[in-house]
Chains A and B, each alone.
Chain A
Amino acid sequence: MRSRLAIFGAIAAVLMTVPLCSGQTQCTGVSGGTDYKVLVDEVQFATAGGNQPAIALELLQSSVEGALEKVRHGVLARSSSPSTMLYLPCSGRHPQSPGEFNDLYIRTMASNHVILELWGTIFPLGDGQHKFDIHYVMFPVASATAPPPSGITATEKTMASKPTPVQVTGYLISARADLPAYFTVAAGVQAYADHRWDQAAPLLCEARSRLKNKTAQQDLMKFADELASKAGAELRKSSDPAGTSLMSEAQAKDYCTFATTR
């Protein structure tokens, strides 16, 4: 008995000395809590001698946070239950490929309420040209039970010269960039899974609008649209069980059209 206590005590002491979440490749604050989380990984230049950071992670994180919070507050201006979103900088983290995100990893991230992770790589193409690849993983989309579109996607841009940090952030967060669209899908799907209908419906409608003209993302747009209508129906049910809502059943079924035309 004493020997058991001795080993458990020793192990407990070991665990207490190990930082909860540290290291060069892991993000602090991913586990625990019910806040939604966006993981901001490194954007790096690919060089023969190994990758180099293209922009300070703190700058990247604050730029992403500023841009996405602006979108979120705009969309959820009328939401009665505003929630907190955490933007976690993942120092040193730069996944080699989307193949690292297997099903179990995606489910683990989703269970910790991580909604989105992004990282980028800038490759020299010769003649001063560079290719900027940005990868996004929308965990709630990838882990949805219904046959969902892939929650893992990427955008690519060819640049005439080596981009400066300002150009890097500009390309990531500009109004017409892909990031806000994927962010609203991910946040909307997670809000739907958490039965936050008043947030899910407007976020998914916003995603639908932003994805409308992206030909490669029509599956994702359709998925967001269908889920928005389901959220609209739930919203109608929960806000007005008697069925005397201003929104008819037909309107709820096509919630985004109703929301944008009223």
Chain B
Amino acid sequence: MEGPPAFNAALEIFSIYDRLHKLETNALETNANDKKNHWYDSQLFSSVLSGVILAVFGFALTGRLEQSAKERELNIQSAKDMQELLVKMSTGKGDEADAAAVTLTAYGRYAIPPLIQNLQYSPERALAAEHGLDALAITVPEDLCNNLGTVLQNRTQRYTAASHAPVIRIMGVAGCTGSAQIQILREYADLIKRADAGGPGLIEYQQAVRDATPSNVAQAKQELANTFRLLHVDYAF
């Protein structure tokens, strides 16, 4: 019967030294790998920093949502308030309609579409709307000019010739000097020039603008000339 192997001191020392060496090598490799890891892989982040960032993000998101909800609520409330003013504009005498239109301008860019719409109705409403739009030239000139440009650019008889005249006037008074708006005015002036020659040009104008007659052509020509003068634009009819 064989007994346990005899203790060999030299072998034991070698074995221990070898294991120590392996452990040291592994530890160095692990440290090198740790250096390559991203900051968010760190223990600190996973425990503390990620929580902070999440809290900040949540706070910001909640703020945005609340703001959006409040804005929508305000818009709907504004529309309700605007309703009264629009009714006053449609039923009031000249001064009352004027006052209602100018009060509407407190709603800023939201007042532009209803005021433009009112340019197409009775002369009292149209004039009140024109005064309101004139006032908006001070507060929201860019929105105003863009919207008026869109009206003048329309060629599907969406607007009457009578409503295009004040649009041209306001673009002059409001100083709509953006290159896009000047281009729109020039294109409209070209349309008027062709209409002024009569025949197919007039038919083209009547197909683009509702309720247009040669007297509207003459008026538009006059308004355009005045607007070009105000905007320092050279255009020869």
Q: Are B162 and A111 in contact (CB under 8 A)?
A: yes
Number of chain A residues close to chain B: CB under 8 A: 43
Q: From residue 1 to 52 of chain A, which have CB atoms closer than 8 A to chain B?
A: 2-3, 6-8, 10-11, 14-15, 17-27, 30-34
Number of chain B residues close to chain A: CB under 8 A: 46
Residue of chain B at shortest CB distance from A143: B219
B158 interface contact, C-beta 8 A:
no
List the one stretch of A65-73, A128-136, A190-198 in contact with chain B: A190-198
Over the window 203-243 of chain A, the binary record of Cβ atoms lying under 8 Å from chain B Cβ atoms (1 yes, 0 no) is 00000000000000000000000000000000000000000
Task: Classify the interface of chain B: helix, strand, loop or mixed.
Answer: helix
Instruction: Report how far A140 CA is from B215 CA in the complex, Å.
Output: 9
Instruction: Report how far A6 CA is from B68 CA in the complex, Å.
Output: 12
Residue of chain A at shortest CB distance from B118: A15
> Within 8 Å CB of B125, what residues of A?
21, 26
Q: From residue 32 to 83 of chain B, which have CB atoms closer than 8 A to chain A?
A: 68, 71-72, 75-76, 78-80, 82-83
B93 interface contact, C-beta 8 A:
yes
Given A14-B83, A23-B92, A111-B219, residue A31 in contact with residue B213 (CB < 8 A): no
A62 interface contact, C-beta 8 A:
no
B26 interface contact, C-beta 8 A:
no
> Within 8 Å CB of B130, what residues of A?
104
Instruction: Report how far A108 CA is from B79 CA in the complex, Å.
Output: 28
B208 to chain A, nearest CB (A): 15
Known A21-B121, A23-B90; 12 more pairs at CB < 8 Å: A6-B79, A11-B110, A22-B91, A26-B125, A27-B122, A30-B122, A31-B121, A34-B211, A100-B94, A111-B161, A113-B211, A195-B198
